[in-house]
Structure 1
Amino acid sequence: MNEELSYEHKVCVECFTYNQSLYIEDALDGFCMQHTTFPYVCVIIDDASTDGEQKVLTDYLKRNFNLNDTSVVRNEDYVNYSLVYAQHKNNENCYFAVIFLKYNHYSKALDKTPYFSEWHNNSKYLAFCEGDDFWIDSHKLQKQVDFLEVHTDYTMFFHNAIIRYENQTRPDRILSQFETGDFDTLLLFKKWQLPLASVLLRRQILDSPLLTELNKVYKGSFCLFITATKTGKVFGLSESLSVYRINDGGVSNKMHAWDILDRRYKYAKVTKDDTIIKYVDSIALRRLIEVMPHYLLGNSEAKKLANVVKYHNKRVYYQSIIVFPLCFPKLVLDKIKSQYDKKKRSNR
């Protein structure tokens, strides 16, 4: 039996969006411009936006999709959501399944991933793009699928991205510096932040028991990344094929150092990989030494960081207290140098 006949779409693209009316069309354009030799479906879930985004999505469908083809189009209404499924007017391989949630699921702590299940089950690969990010290479999906089709021992292919600061406080820059090649779990922890919009992975990752355990810690994209490195090989492309937006309302802007460290520790312990756990210990020691002056002065964020370290590894906590006096002169010099460099840049 031909394996491809069992897949309605070779790729299912997940896109969660909420109140991103200013950005969502960039994401949609990135989906539609893909040149592929296979059908793919982009599942866009709007979590009951209040900024007019639902109208933006509706108008986009009317302009770009064939809503009159009754052999393809689905217009369905359910208790919790309504669905529009259609094929692009010009790109016959591009399909959209737009799900309009009737009430905000995030505020009620309701899981939105079940809405993807129909599309997951009929796809070989999964791709991702949040509503404020977007793809800038029209062959992104084809490049990734071609690689995974040939290299069957690889579970995931990701690429680099350009960071764009919407408040224009900084110029665009490359998200991460790395060489094209394989990524193991340790390298993944070292780089930590991978652009979600860059990822293509095999759907079978969702069935992994390890993913289930990781999701119990903190459910998020990093669980997928770790699972991919533990169940097969992962390939990283240094070329930037997408844009990762940072805006004032973004979740990534609200995360604290202690929260990130706590996640690292918990993820590392789920993997039961001593190399990863020791690496996180080394990060914890360094960070705690750096914030020790603030901790001793009663700074609340420094206290939270110290409590995280103490909870996960008391030895590292007490080691930082012992080592800090030896490191204090260097910390002062580094601080002075940092302020000098900052002032020098501002005077240019």
Structure 2
Amino acid sequence: MITYGHELYIKQAIESVLMQETNFDFELFIADDCSPDKTPEVVESILNNHPQAFRIKYHRHKKNIGMKANGLYALDQCLGKYIAFCEGDDYWTDPHKLQKQVDFLENNTNYSICWTKYLIKQESQNLLPLEKPDWISHIEKDKNFHIDLNNIFAPYCTYTLTAVLRRNMLDFTILRKLKHSKDNSIYALCLSKGNGMLMDFYSSAYRVHGGGIFSGASIYKQKFYSYLNLKEIILKVPDCDNDNIRSIRNHLLKESIKFCPNRYSFDYLNLIWDFAVCFGFKKSLKLVVNKLKNGK
């Protein structure tokens, strides 16, 4: 569990992990990236009062090191056979989540990672019921959904808060070299060595709020950072240069150019160069000319 500024949410996140009913031992490692609010006080209160607090290992960095570095630090501390994720502003809803997913991986050794369905909690609409994500209608109802490198991200249903993976699938040498790593980088590493499964049950709630790192970002930043992430995955993660991932990378490239707020910026020029490499210089020149004509 990585956290930063989750004072309002982290108690529910922690308690949703500690409520898990399993026939195996587990621990919760919390990596706090020097939260500027009362997140440490909330965690300390749980450490001092919760009957399952012995399962928690808590580390608070003395200075902010950034989400990528904090995530890698947290992964390094995980010693179990399996790793599960729950960021400090999300929470699990099923007390048997871990048991179901670990049982699946134990019984299906050709699978390296599994996810589940989840619901969305709009924090600004607190009194409304949890929502189903849009992608639910794009998968077959009441069945597990197989995921591999040829269909991952189509639809995008692999959210971090539901993932459970085999620790030995992670290549930390590669992870540490990635400049734009996200959860997708971890998924790609796992799927380069085995299959994935979206299991047919709802286990978690994904919280959407203004302070969220991704959900609170502008459309441009969401598209741009996702593009950089997939571009890097194709270049640096084994077996990931395929039609599926290239197609999604190309879509994100076009969207990044479309939503870029400053066509004179260094990022915009790099995007145009990448467009030329992917689609040819004639198409790139035509794109630039059209944008200049339209004043966009």
State the TM-score, normalized to the length of structure 1: 0.68
3-state SS of 2:21 partner: coil
Deviation by residue 1:168-195 (Cα, 9 ceiling, x = unmatched): 2997422332342210113213334621
Deviation by residue 1:125-155 (Cα, 9 ceiling, x = unmatched): 0001100000000100000010011101110
Are the structure 2 counterparts of residues 301 and 191 from structure 1 closer, same or farther at C-alpha, using a change threshold of 3 Å? farther
1:194 pairs, out of 123, 137, 158, with 158
Larger radius of gyration: 1
Asked whether the equivalents of residues 224 and 253 of structure 2 are also in contact (C-alpha less than 8 Å), the reply is: no
Residue number in structure 2 paired with 1:164: 121
Are the structure 2 counterparts of residues 31 and 52 from structure 1 closer, same or farther at C-alpha, using a change threshold of 3 Å? same
2:89 pairs, out of 123, 132, 140, with 132
Are the structure 2 counterparts of residues 112 and 277 from structure 1 closer, same or farther at C-alpha, using a change threshold of 3 Å? closer
Residue number in structure 2 paired with 1:69: none
Asked whether the equivalents of residues 162 and 172 of structure 1 are also in contact (C-alpha less than 8 Å), the reply is: yes
Is residue 319 of structure 1 aligned with residue 277 of structure 2? Answer: no
Letter of the aligned partner of 2:131 in structure 1? Answer: R
Which residues of structure 2 form unaligned runs of 5+?
290-296
Matches of 1:109 and 1:174 in 2, distance apart? 28
Are the structure 2 counterparts of residues 189 and 270 from structure 1 closer, same or farther at C-alpha, using a change threshold of 3 Å? farther
Is residue 236 of structure 1 aligned with residue 198 of structure 2? Answer: yes
Deviation by residue 1:268-295 (Cα, 9 ceiling, x = unmatched): 2334523245413652586489x3xx88
3-state SS of 1:55 partner: helix
Are the structure 2 counterparts of residues 111 and 129 from structure 1 closer, same or farther at C-alpha, using a change threshold of 3 Å? closer
Is residue 222 of structure 1 aligned with residue 190 of structure 2? Answer: no
Matches of 2:252 and 2:264 in 1, distance apart? 12
3-state SS of 2:46 partner: helix
The Cα shift of 1:52 comes to 1.6
Asked whether the equivalents of residues 258 and 308 of structure 1 are also in contact (C-alpha less than 8 Å), the reply is: no
Matches of 1:208 and 1:323 in 2, distance apart? 39
Are the structure 2 counterparts of residues 269 and 50 from structure 1 closer, same or farther at C-alpha, using a change threshold of 3 Å? closer
Residue number in structure 2 paired with 1:43: 29
The Cα shift of 1:300 comes to 2.0
Q: How many percent identity over aligned positions?
A: 24
Aligned length: 275
Letter of the aligned partner of 1:283 in structure 2? Answer: H
Are the structure 2 counterparts of residues 16 and 315 from structure 1 closer, same or farther at C-alpha, using a change threshold of 3 Å? closer
Which residues of structure 1 form unaligned runs of 5+?
1-14, 67-85, 88-94, 326-348
Residue number in structure 2 paired with 1:99: 59
3-state SS of 1:231 partner: coil
Mapping of 1:182-331 within 5 angstroms? 182-192=146-156, 194-207=158-171, 211-212=174-175, 215-252=177-214, 253-254=216-217, 255-271=221-237, 273-276=241-244, 278-280=246-248, 282-283=250-251, 287=255, 291=258, 300=262, 307-311=270-274, 313-314=276-277, 316=279, 318-319=282-283
State the TM-score, normalized to the length of structure 2: 0.78
The Cα shift of 1:312 comes to 5.2
Letter of the aligned partner of 2:50 in structure 1? Answer: N
Q: Which has the bigger relative contact order, CA under 8 A and spacing at least 6?
A: 2
Are the structure 2 counterparts of residues 187 and 313 from structure 1 closer, same or farther at C-alpha, using a change threshold of 3 Å? farther
The Cα shift of 1:217 comes to 3.8
Matches of 1:132 and 1:108 in 2, distance apart? 14
Is residue 155 of structure 1 aligned with residue 141 of structure 2? Answer: no
Matches of 2:73 and 2:256 in 1, distance apart? 40
